[in-house]
């Protein structure tokens, strides 16, 4: 494994040892994750990566690890809260931390905070304060102990959500009574690509060339087929520790590309959990010395893109007769294809070509077990007459608040005219 993570000679998980509150992780389990230093290659490669290495210059002993893993609970009731928000591009995550003096149970007990919006493209310099409203709490897998991560959204001092705040509108949709009654479930499959630092070429790919064609890499093992498993595995455990609803992970079709799934989550939780999982992932790649890319088509040519397939169901779909409800939902979605596509991620047109297990961006299609469609319905769902649908259109850089809210809105709140419905049913050969 160490040699595949090409230049990195040393990186370690910063994790809680013996955190006081009951934790499923033991020190022994954690230390098995720690990459053993590749002693042979150390001299050469450490010269390039000394900037990231946590090693004292005369190489005697490393005291920083003790400080990073320090369990403060015997010395103070205070703990550290890392406030996390989405920046001006809509996909860049930002965070900063503060000390909290007494324990909290609920995000509403945490203080609102503010940051310099002029440094993130979200406010002008002469009126720069943007306010952070805490919305969800997770345990901090990097600091351990009682320390926490806090997912926030962003407002003007007057209390208006700023334009890049997509959570606010999603929360409104998810509190609509019709939506609440339908208990919408989401399972989101986040794909991502790992790139070597300094060259922005995928991890494990030869610099100046290409690996063998796709085929052997999907869910594979082996130094010539799986690049960066430590990142995926460390991320899985870190998310479970944090309280993120991560349900699985797998290696993807393109080498150096991975996927994890978060769900099933209800309503607004889906968005919060995906954003926190993305934060944890980029903190881990930061330590690993590897660049995280959520670009939907990182390499042109005969290489898969990266998506964020969104599995979705409502109470009606999960009950007997649900298959009819699913077909009606698909009908609604077909009538709003353009609206959805424009909100499903920047650069998606490079990915949705109709090849590489996608449907063309201009065509709406659906099918059972068909990976070349916009919407795929599983064989189990068809057989049992109830279940869920998979929207395969969203790109890996989609905003889950936008996508989940739009799915709920289009399938639960939107009422198309009868003529439009009939026309669409004909086009899709759907007897609804």
Query: Using the rule CB under 8 A, is 132 a contact of other proteins?
Result: no
Site string for other proteins, 244-283 (x = CB under 8 A): -----------------------------------x--xx
Kind and range of the H or E run holding 42: helix 42-49
User: What is the torsional sign of CA 245, 247, 250, 254?
Assistant: negative
Query: Using the rule CB under 8 A, is 96 a contact of other proteins?
Result: yes
Residues 25-54 that bind other proteins (CB under 8 A): 50-54
413 secondary structure, DSSP code? I
Query: Using the rule CB under 8 A, is 61 a contact of other proteins?
Result: yes
Query: Using the rule CB under 8 A, is 121 a contact of other proteins?
Result: yes
Q: Least CB distance from residue 378 to other proteins, whole Å?
A: 35
Query: Using the rule CB under 8 A, is 139 a contact of other proteins?
Result: no
Region label for 103, one of left (φ > 0), alpha (ψ between -120 and 50) or beta (otherwise): beta
Do you know the residue count of the chain? 432
Rg of the Cα atoms in the chain: 23
> Closest CB to other proteins among 127 and 224?
127
Token duo for residue 189: 């499959």
Work out which of 37, 197, 249, 360 binds other proteins, going by CB under 8 A.
Answer: 197
Query: Using the rule CB under 8 A, is 241 a contact of other proteins?
Result: no
Token duo for residue 326: 């699913």
Cα–chain-centroid distance for residue 167?
A: 15
Q: Least CB distance from residue 107 to other proteins, whole Å?
A: 18
> Closest CB to other proteins among 121 and 321?
121
Work out which of 45, 128, 214, 247 binds other proteins, going by CB under 8 A.
Answer: 128
Work out which of 3, 26, 62, 175 binds other proteins, going by CB under 8 A.
Answer: 62
Work out which of 119, 175, 353, 362 binds other proteins, going by CB under 8 A.
Answer: 119
Q: Which residues are CB-contacts of 111 (< 8 A; sequence separation ≥ 6)?
A: 134
- Could you please report the per-residue DSSP string of 238-256? HHHHHT--EEEEEE-SSTT
- Pick the piece of the chain touching other proteins (CB under 8 A) from 109-117, 222-230, 350-358, 372-380: 109-117
Residues 260/246, Cβ–Cβ less than 8 Å: yes
Work out which of 95, 176, 247, 370 binds other proteins, going by CB under 8 A.
Answer: 95
Cα separation, 274 vs 55, in Å, equals 33
Work out which of 30, 142, 241, 312 binds other proteins, going by CB under 8 A.
Answer: 142
Q: Least CB distance from residue 400 to other proteins, whole Å?
A: 18
Cα separation, 1 vs 230, in Å, equals 8
User: What is the torsional sign of CA 247, 252, 258, 259?
Assistant: negative
Q: Least CB distance from residue 360 to other proteins, whole Å?
A: 33
- Could you please report the per-residue DSSP string of 310-326? EEEE-HHHHSTTHHHHH
Cα separation, 101 vs 144, in Å, equals 17
Query: Using the rule CB under 8 A, is 207 a contact of other proteins?
Result: no
Q: Least CB distance from residue 97 to other proteins, whole Å?
A: 5
Work out which of 23, 40, 109, 116 binds other proteins, going by CB under 8 A.
Answer: 116
Instruction: Report how many residues bind other proteins under the rule CB under 8 A.
Output: 60
> Does 51 sit behind a cis peptide bond, omega within 30 degrees of 0 on the bond before it?
no
Residues 283/353, Cβ–Cβ less than 8 Å: no
Q: Would you tell me which residues interact with other proteins (CB under 8 A)?
A: 14, 50-57, 60-64, 66-68, 70, 72, 75-76, 78, 80, 87, 92-99, 114-116, 118-121, 125-129, 142-143, 157, 197-198, 279, 282-283, 285-292
């Amino acid at each position: 494994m160490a040699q595949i993570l090409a230049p990195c000679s040393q990186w370690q998980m910063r994790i809680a040892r013996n955190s006081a509150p009951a934790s499923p992780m033991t020190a022994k389990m954690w230390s098995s994750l720690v990459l053993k230093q590749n002693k042979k290659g150390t001299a050469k490669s450490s010269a390039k990566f000394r900037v990231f290495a946590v090693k004292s210059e005369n190489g005697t002993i490393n005291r920083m690890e003790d400080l990073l893993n320090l369990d403060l609970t015997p010395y103070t009731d205070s703990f550290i809260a890392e406030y996390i928000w989405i920046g001006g591009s809509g996909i860049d995550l930002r965070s900063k931390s503060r000390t909290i003096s007494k324990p909290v149970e609920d995000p509403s007990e945490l203080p609102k905070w503010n940051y310099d919006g002029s440094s993130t493209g979200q406010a002008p310099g002469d009126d720069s304060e943007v306010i952070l409203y805490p919305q969800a709490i997770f345990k901090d897998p990097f600091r351990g102990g009682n320390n926490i991560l806090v997912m926030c959204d962003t407002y003007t001092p007057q209390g208006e959500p700023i334009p890049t705040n997509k959570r606010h509108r999603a929360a409104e949709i998810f509190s609509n009574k019709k939506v609440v009654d339908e208990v919408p479930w989401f399972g989101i499959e986040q794909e991502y690509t790992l790139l070597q630092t300094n060259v922005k070429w995928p991890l494990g790919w030869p610099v100046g060339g290409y690996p063998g064609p796709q085929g052997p890499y999907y869910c594979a093992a082996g130094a010539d087929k799986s690049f960066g498993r430590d990142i995926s595995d460390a991320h899985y455990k870190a998310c479970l520790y944090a309280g993120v609803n991560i349900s699985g992970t797998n290696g993807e079709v393109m080498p150096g590309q991975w996927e994890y799934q978060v769900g099933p989550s209800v309503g607004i939780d889906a968005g919060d959990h995906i954003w926190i999982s993305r934060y944890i992932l980029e903190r881990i790649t930061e330590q690993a010395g590897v660049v995280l890319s959520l670009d939907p088509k990182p390499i042109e040519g005969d290489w898969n893109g990266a998506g964020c397939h969104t599995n979705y169901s409502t109470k009606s779909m999960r009950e007997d007769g649900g298959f009819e409800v699913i077909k009606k939902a698909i009908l609604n979605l077909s009538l709003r294809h353009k609206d959805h596509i424009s909100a499903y991620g920047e650069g998606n047109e490079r990915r949705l070509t109709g090849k590489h297990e996608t449907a063309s961006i201009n065509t709406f299609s659906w099918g059972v077990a068909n990976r070349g469609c916009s919407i795929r319905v599983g064989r189990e769902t068809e057989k049992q007459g109830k279940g869920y649908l998979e929207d395969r259109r969203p790109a890996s850089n989609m905003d889950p608040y936008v996508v989940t809210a739009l799915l709920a809105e289009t399938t639960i709140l939107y009422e198309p005219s009868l003529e439009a419905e009939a026309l669409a049913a004909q086009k899709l050969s759907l007897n609804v």
